[in-house]
Amino acid sequence: MRVGGVVRERLEAKTILVVDDEDGVRESVREILSDEGYRVLEASTGTVVPDLIRSERPRLVLLDIWMPEMDGIGLLREIKKLDPDTNVVMISGHGNIHTAVTATKYGAFDFIEKPLSLDGLLLTVRRALGESPTIAEKGPRAKTGKTKRRSSRAAATEVHVPALQRTLKKSVVISGHGLHSGIKTGLILHPLPPNSGILFSGISADATVPAHLDHVGSTGYATSLYGKGIVVGTVEHFLAVLHSYRISNLLVKVQGEIPILDGSALEFCHLIEEAGIQEQDKEWSEIALDRSYRLEIKGGESISAEPADVFSVRYMLNYPKPVGEQEYTYVFQGQESFKKEIAPARTFGFLRDIEKLEKLGLVNGGRLSNCILLDDEKVINTELRFPDEFARHKILDIVGDFYLFGRPVRCMVTARMTGHSDNIALLKEIKKGMRL
């Protein structure tokens, strides 16, 4: 019989080591976690941590990043060498997205800020231990099950396809600048369980906002999401990648604005591929349009969506020289088609508009390396990746905005000279018409 061994395994599964030189922090965390049924060990110095890892085998370490005797990042690396399966959550009162990115690169499961939020702490601990409920409960639940049609004549149709929900195999990070804010920012991507959805949060993850139409705030020059206590700007390029790679469950930690990177979505594709895609044991459904929806916008702009077997976008534009008329039709045939045809297309702007945008507090992070810049005669800072790169980039924006239902939509989108505000307006019409 292995009674003693079984008991020890159960104790280890519920054991959390709190490493912090502040007595008050350790006491508060111990009380919170003990009340939840966890076995809590404490250390006021990092020097004793390796011995505790060997003898007590905690499943989780809550580690202050600023330790008197040693650097928390160094201790993190030592812990991961001793026991790669021990999850480590870094804690800091002076953290920012770059500290969080560094910690994640060295193997930290997550990063949270002081003063600690009770909800944020417990949600992070439960995620780290693979327990439920998780942070995902704050987001909209993805729909699963067989094909069904609601009774209303204008109701939505869910198309059941043999597809499983997806998340990432591991956490990954990337750094950059926000296009409009100009701030140094970054992304930390964490896998989430089935039915979680795509959730954006700050560093501590005590407040989240779902990637959903109901949480769209501003749409001027970019799509932003607003939730209680959190704002996330310029989400469209990143969401286009999640849409195309069919990532359904993910926690995205970000400081204010998604980094613009090179102005395209290609680096986000590489980030998802670096993490690897994990299929999960729950199915999900696509949305199939029941009829055509169309918006006519003043000035000859228009956007429509009609029923189709696959998702596709046709975009037409007509700008002054040197852009001229461009048209491109994209038919989704899997992530590789997106990565090849649409993801490399970069954002663009006219030199004559820069002063106006700067007065609006926008494009503070604009660089010659992260957009296509045009004067009245030519592209002045780069070579185009496609002859019709401008039309393709507009399609990139639509692919991202159309993931704000939280599920893929089967339809044919046709747009002429439209932008984010028009995309969102059409989505709202579809939601109202189909009672989604």
Q: What is the DSSP letter of 66?
A: B
The span from the first CA to the last CA of the chain, in angstroms, equals 55
373 is written with which tokens?
């810049």
For residue 387, which phi and psi values (nearest 5 degrees)?
-60, -30
In the chain, the amino acid numbered 332 is F
Catalytic residues: 420
Count of C-beta atoms within a 10 Å radius of residue 174: 19
3-state SS, residue 45: coil
E-strand stretches of 30-183: 39-43, 60-64, 87-92, 110-113, 148-149, 157-168, 172-177
Residue 256 near residue 181, CB atoms below 8 Å: yes
Spatial CB neighbours of 351, under 8 Å, sequence gap ≥ 6? 373, 374, 375, 380
Identify whether the C-beta of residue 385 lies closer than 8 Å to the C-beta of residue 344: yes
Three-state DSSP class for residue 206: coil
Residue tagged 């059941």 (tokens): 160
Q: How far apart are CA 292 and CA 29, in angstroms?
A: 55
At residue 353, the 3 state secondary structure works out as helix
Beta carbons of 26 and 20 less than 8 angstroms apart: yes
In SS3 terms, 360-414 reads as CCCCCCCCCCCCEEECCCCECCCCCCCCCHHHHHHHHHHHHHCCCCCCCEEEEEE
Strand-pair partners of 113: 92
Give me the phi and psi of 248, to 5 degrees please.
Answer: -105, -20
